[in-house]
Amino acid sequence: MTVDTKPQVETRRPVEYTDSRLNAKIPAGPVEQKWAKHKFDMKLVNPANRRKFTVIVVGTGLAGGAAAATLGEMGYNVRAFCYQDSARRAHSIAAQGGINAAKNYRNDGDSVYRLFYDTVKGGDFRAREANVYRLAELSVNIIDQCVSQGVPFAREYSGYLDNRSFGGAQVSRTFYARGQTGQQLLLGAYQSLSRQVAAGTVELNERTEMLDVIIINGRARGIVTRDMVTGAIESHLADVVILATGGYSNVFYLSTNAKGSNTSAIWRAHRRGAFFANPCYTQIHPTCIPVSGDHQSKLTLMSESLRNDGRVWVPKQAGDTRSPDKIPEDERDYYLERRYPSFGNLAPRDISSRAAKAVCDEGRGVGPGGLGVYLDFSAAMKRLGEATIRERYGNLFDMYERITGENPYKVPMRIYPAVHYTMGGLWVDYNLMSTINGLFVGGEANFSDHGANRLGASALMQGLADGYFVLPATISDYLAKGGFEAVDASHPAVKEVVEEVTARTQKLLSIQGTRSVDSFHRELGNIMWEYCGMSRTEAGLKKALELIPALREQFWSDVRVLGSGAELNQELEKAGRVADFIELAELMCRDALNRAESCGGHFREESQTDEGEALRNDDDYCYVAAWEYMGDPSSAVLHQEQLVFENVQLATRSYK
Amino acid sequence: MKITVNVWRQKNAQTKGQMVKYHVEHVSPDMSFLEMLDVLNQQLIAKHEEPVAFDHDCREGICGSCGVMINGLAHGGNQATTTCQLHMRSFKDGDEITVEPWRAKAFPVIKDLVVDRGSFDRIIRAGGYISASTGSAPDANATPIPKDNADLAFDAAQCIGCGACVAACPNASAMLFTSAKIGHLGLLPQGQAERQSRVLNMVAQMDAEGFGGCTNIGECSAACPKEISLHFISRLNRDLLGATLSGGRTVE
């Protein structure tokens, strides 16, 4: 066990500033002891009584799949839902690079405290310390659990586990399974879930999309779904509901997310009273394959691990159209190495992305449209040999060649930033419960652990920490406290939600306008990328806030959804999701407008240093912005949870 | 580019389907195959015709959602390539392309190009896991695993469950899929305790689902976008023989 030493720092802010509706329920005591103490203080459900409780889990990715499997193992009656045709296809599967854990197997100075510190700093001091510490603490258990499930992590010739480095850290703490770590971790969770399905503790509903949440007497008691094959709209009741439905990057239309990834589950919950926290915090990943044309339907990420050996550069001269091999060394600008000498090409994602945008804005971008920078492996190939590079990144190089038709062993890769992850999400307390009693939120769908910027290899860690360890404990505590009234499908509140969902579906089918769902989605994406993307301004955001409501109005009067609701209808599915994205987009822009500081992935041009670095404003914005729905995104009310830093000193985040 | 596609259209599982010919204009060589279908669907919507339904999600070759027969070949026949990763630069201007759903009794058609692959999930449920409940794990480095075994286990574990192996097999056998999981877990020390019951139960479920038998043709491996080797089918057969001969009982 690693011994942690904690520097003494002053508590920055008294807690009284926090809105009374946002009680984070952070346990008292030193940060190292909070979770252990809390686990002991929480109530338990006797094993014989667990099957009397029904738990709904929406989403079967790392957080949802792990939570459903674990709650099933504990003996609860679990009902899991996913929109994919199999639980194994949730988008966690696409994560490439790795998962962090403070194992210190490298003996390079890592510890739980260092992972905690790196994550708080990496998040630009906009995350809750207690949650992040718990995450770092649980990281070590996750690796143990996954290995015992048979996850084939990379190993050394000794037979022991291998590690690699990721952005924003100076230790090697990332565990990986070639470039397919997310796939292997998800299959581990999926197999555990399958075991519980066979055991009868989990009932799995595939091709079933959640369209609303049912609240009875202030408690989340179920969901309304649409069977995507038959079109049946049905209610499902339970004692507690977990949403683990992922992020909302597809609000930008083009992102690295799966085409089906959407915000509807959390947005519907938001409309029913769950506060939405920090919606404007989006992560733009620096290394993606550039857009090739108007037909583009999604963007493909190239793992951050490539930056271990690849060097990022552009020509020094604007408008230089020579092929890369014709540009001599002294006419190249390795701008990350120049601007951030100590982290170099492994500078964190937000910083690397903005730096790429800056050089492209200067006209120094490469490739069609000038929206690209080189990621060059020639120096590494010279140093290590092509064979080593092939062994490390072969599958990624092949993928690049399949998509672009260019051979990255011969010409440098061209990359450009793309929307990848959303740090914002539903507000949750320390127990991962939202502002709706009995509605818990895990994984990317909640806001809790990454602050304003997520470090590489931390999403898998958070999803599994929430799913395997946090939710099973806090759900038990919630259920043990009891007080559940019996409800069935005839309850007026249930009927009302079913009717609302049915009416909305009918409405989408009845408009029969002139424009396809995709055309609205693309237009929304363009607005968001232009005004709420890598850099944001007051004027731009105000412009977006005029354009988005107009687009919403047009959508509801002119969208064309063919076919009926009583069958597999992919246009209808998309239409419901895009309608919610349009509402969310407005809230994102309002949040970005309110936050007149730059922090992490949120860069306000008005708030920067003379060198163009992000300028945070801790005096005015050291809070979580949690928005309450009041009938329309434009009238949402802001609540503030003040962030208190008792362990990590608020400091300017520097990677120079 | 201009492309002609012959697409299988089928309203639902109860209705008979048919091939329908469409002309797709403005196809760029940089488009993926699915983006070409997107263009077709936008054309159809503009003409008030119902778009073609097809499964897809990540569009980067890892979720396993997509998969159609393209000119009679699963995923189009390019090496190690899923349908979403196949690009139109593999075709020529004026080409006529036939697009059909996976064809197998155990994969019934739901609509157009969408099939039900729930049989794969049921094979995994029959034993494709290690029974390690959350909380019971020893330290991750407590048991070293020889790198070669770990690497081979990974090769098998890469299966994305797309179903191309079944679609490519003249017998519609699911042996490659099933053997990949048996191989992955059987190569790891953690997977030994349940090794015999796993192979017996998974193979029994595979047969119950109506997949055909394996006659060692090898189309499955050639069509597999993750290039999973026939070697794993041999491993499955060896495990099955061993488990059967040693009187391994099916554990419920």
Domains of chain A, by residue range, sit at 285-419, 489-642
Percent of chain A with pLDDT over 70: 97
Question: What mean pLDDT do residues A436-456 have?
Answer: 96
Q: Which of A178, A293, A518 sits opposite B154 (nearest CB)?
A: A178
- B residues 10-29 near A, CB within 8 Å? 11-12, 28
DSSP letters of A56-109? EEE--SHHHHHHHHHHHHHT-EEEEE-SSSSGGGSGGGG--S-EE----TT-SS
Nearest CA in chain A to B42: A516
CB contacts of B12 in chain A (<8 Å) are 567-568
Q: What is the pLDDT of residues A391-409, one digit of tens each?
A: 888 888 998 999 999 999 9
Query: Would you tell me how many other CB atoms lie within 10 Å of the CB of residue A47?
Result: 9
Interface confidence, given as ipTM, is 0.97
Question: Do residues A373 and A312 make contact, with C-beta atoms less than 8 angstroms apart?
Answer: yes
Chain B interface includes A149 (CB < 8 A):
yes
Q: What is the pLDDT of residues A475-496, one digit of tens each?
A: 999 999 999 999 999 999 999 9
Stretch (H or E) spanning A226: strand A219-227
Catalytic residue status for A349:
yes
The CATH code of the domain that includes B234 is 1.10.1060.10
- In a mutagenesis test of the A interface, which of B36, B62, B78 is the best target, namely the one with the most A β-carbons within 10 Å? B62
For the cut 50, the answer to whether the pLDDT of residue A2 exceeds it is: no
Q: Which of B58, B137, B151 sits opposite A145 (nearest CB)?
A: B137
Question: What mean pLDDT do residues A573-582 have?
Answer: 98
Stretch (H or E) spanning A441: strand A439-441
Asked if the structure places residue B251 within a domain, the reply is: no
Least confident of A19-28, A231-240, B24-33: A19-28
Q: What is the pLDDT of residues A124-138, one digit of tens each?
A: 999 999 999 999 999
Beta partners for residue A220, in sequence order = A215
Token pair 């990420």 is at which residue? A301
For the cut 60, the answer to whether the pLDDT of residue A600 exceeds it is: yes
Q: pLDDT confidence of A1, banded at 50, 70, 90?
A: very low
Would you state the pLDDT for residue B252?
42
For residues B107 and B128, membership in a common domain is answered with: no
- In a mutagenesis test of the B interface, which of A178, A256, A259 is the best target, namely the one with the most B β-carbons within 10 Å? A259
A285-419 with A489-642: one CATH topology? Answer: no
A285-419: which CATH topology?
A: Flavocytochrome C3; Chain A, domain 1 (3.90.700)
- A residues 392-411 near B, CB within 8 Å? 398-399, 402-403, 405
Asked if the structure places residue B237 within a domain, the reply is: yes
Question: What mean pLDDT do residues A642-654 have?
Answer: 91
For residues B89 and B122, membership in a common domain is answered with: no
User: What token pair was written down for A224?
Assistant: 């309304």
Domains held by chain B: number: 2
CB contacts of A87 in chain B (<8 Å) are 121
Range of the domain at B163: 118-245
Q: What is the pLDDT of residues A232-278, one digit of tens each?
A: 999 999 999 999 999 999 999 999 999 999 999 999 999 999 999 99
A379-382 contacts at long range (C-beta below 8 A, 24 or more positions apart) = A379/A311, A380/A309, A380/A310, A380/A311, A381/A409
Residues 6+ apart with CB under 8 A from A368: A290, A292
For residues B47 and B154, membership in a common domain is answered with: no
Q: How far apart are CA B184 and CA A547, in angstroms?
A: 52
Question: What are the φ and ψ backbone dihedral angles of A446, each rounded to 5 degrees?
Answer: -95, 175
State the nearest Cα–Cα gap between A525 and chain B, in angstroms: 17
- In a mutagenesis test of the B interface, which of A78, A84, A89 is the best target, namely the one with the most B β-carbons within 10 Å? A89
Q: Does B38 sit within 8 Å of A296, measured CB to CB?
A: no
For residues B76 and B146, membership in a common domain is answered with: no
Question: What mean pLDDT do residues B31-39 have?
Answer: 98
Stretch (H or E) spanning A524: helix A517-532
The one catalytic residue among A79, A349, A364, A604: A349
CB contacts of A190 in chain B (<8 Å) are 124
CA A206 from chain centre, in angstroms, equals: 22
3-state secondary structure of A333: strand
CB contacts of A178 in chain B (<8 Å) are 154
Question: What mean pLDDT do residues B81-103 have?
Answer: 97
For residues B25 and B50, membership in a common domain is answered with: yes
DSSP letters of chain B? --EEEEEEE-SSTTS--EEEEEEE-S--TTSBHHHHHHHHHHHHHHTT-PPPP---SSSSSSS-----EETTEEGGG-TT--GGG-BGGGS-TT-EEEEE----TTS-EEETTEE--HHHHHHHHTT-S----TT----TTSS---HHHHHHHHHHHT-----HHHHHSTT-B-HHHHHHHHHHHHTSGGGSTTHHHHHHHHHHHHHHTTPBPP-S--HHHHH-TT---THHHHHHHHHHHHHHHTTPPPP-
Q: pLDDT confidence of B249, banded at 50, 70, 90?
A: low
- A residues 127-146 near B, CB within 8 Å? 141, 143-146
Q: What is the pLDDT of residues A346-401, one digit of tens each?
A: 888 889 999 999 999 999 999 988 999 999 999 999 999 999 999 888 888 998 99
- B residues 211-250 near A, CB within 8 Å? none
For the cut 70, the answer to whether the pLDDT of residue A11 exceeds it is: no
Domain boundary among B85, B111, B137: B111
Nearest CA in chain B to A406: B30
Q: How far apart are CA A465 and CA B148, in angstroms?
A: 30
Would you state the pLDDT for residue B31?
95
3-state secondary structure of A453: coil
Question: What mean pLDDT do residues A548-559 have?
Answer: 98
A612-618 contacts at long range (C-beta below 8 A, 24 or more positions apart) = A612/A358, A614/A124, A614/A350, A614/A354, A614/A653, A616/A124, A616/A125, A616/A652, A616/A653, A618/A12, A618/A125, A618/A650
Q: What is the mean pLDDT of chain A?
A: 94
Chain A interface includes B138 (CB < 8 A):
yes
pTM score over 0.90: yes
Q: Does A160 sit within 8 Å of B190, measured CB to CB?
A: no
Q: In CATH, which of 2.40.50.140, 3.30.930.10, 1.20.58.100, 3.30.70.270 is domain A489-642? A: 1.20.58.100
Question: What mean pLDDT do residues A600-609 have?
Answer: 95
Q: pLDDT confidence of A6, banded at 50, 70, 90?
A: very low
Q: Does A398 sit within 8 Å of B80, measured CB to CB?
A: yes
For the cut 90, the answer to whether the pLDDT of residue B14 exceeds it is: yes
- In a mutagenesis test of the A interface, which of B36, B66, B134 is the best target, namely the one with the most A β-carbons within 10 Å? B134
For residues B132 and B94, membership in a common domain is answered with: no
Asked whether the CA dihedral B218, B222, B226, B227 is positive or negative, the reply is: positive
Question: What mean pLDDT do residues A43-70 have?
Answer: 98
Asked if the structure places residue B252 within a domain, the reply is: no
Would you state the pLDDT for residue A368?
87
Nearest CA in chain A to B153: A152
Chain A interface includes B43 (CB < 8 A):
no
Q: What is the pLDDT of residues A505-523, one digit of tens each?
A: 999 999 999 999 999 999 9
Beta partners for residue A376, in sequence order = A311
- The closest of B147, B149, B211, B148 to B183, measured between CA atoms, is B149
Q: What is the pLDDT of residues B36-76, one digit of tens each?
A: 999 999 999 999 999 999 999 999 999 999 999 999 999 99
Asked if the structure places residue B250 within a domain, the reply is: no
Q: Which of B124, B150, B191 sits opposite A155 (nearest CB)?
A: B150
For residues B231 and B160, membership in a common domain is answered with: yes
The CATH code of the domain that includes B14 is 3.10.20.30
Q: Which of B116, B141, B190 sits opposite A161 (nearest CB)?
A: B141
CB contacts of A183 in chain B (<8 Å) are 62, 158, 160
State the nearest Cα–Cα gap between B103 and chain A, in angstroms: 17
C-alpha to C-alpha distances, A83 to A13, A242, A566, A570, nearest whole angstrom: 43, 15, 16, 11
Q: pLDDT confidence of B133, banded at 50, 70, 90?
A: very high
User: What token pair was written down for A88?
Assistant: 């194994």
Q: pLDDT confidence of A3, banded at 50, 70, 90?
A: very low
For residues B64 and B122, membership in a common domain is answered with: no
Nearest CA in chain A to B144: A159
Query: Would you tell me how many other CB atoms lie within 10 Å of the CB of residue B163?
Result: 24
Domain boundary among B61, B91, B111: B111
Q: What is the pLDDT of residues A221-230, one digit of tens each?
A: 999 999 999 9
Chain B interface includes A571 (CB < 8 A):
yes
Would you state the pLDDT for residue A17?
53
Would you state the pLDDT for residue B85?
95
For residues B154 and B199, membership in a common domain is answered with: yes
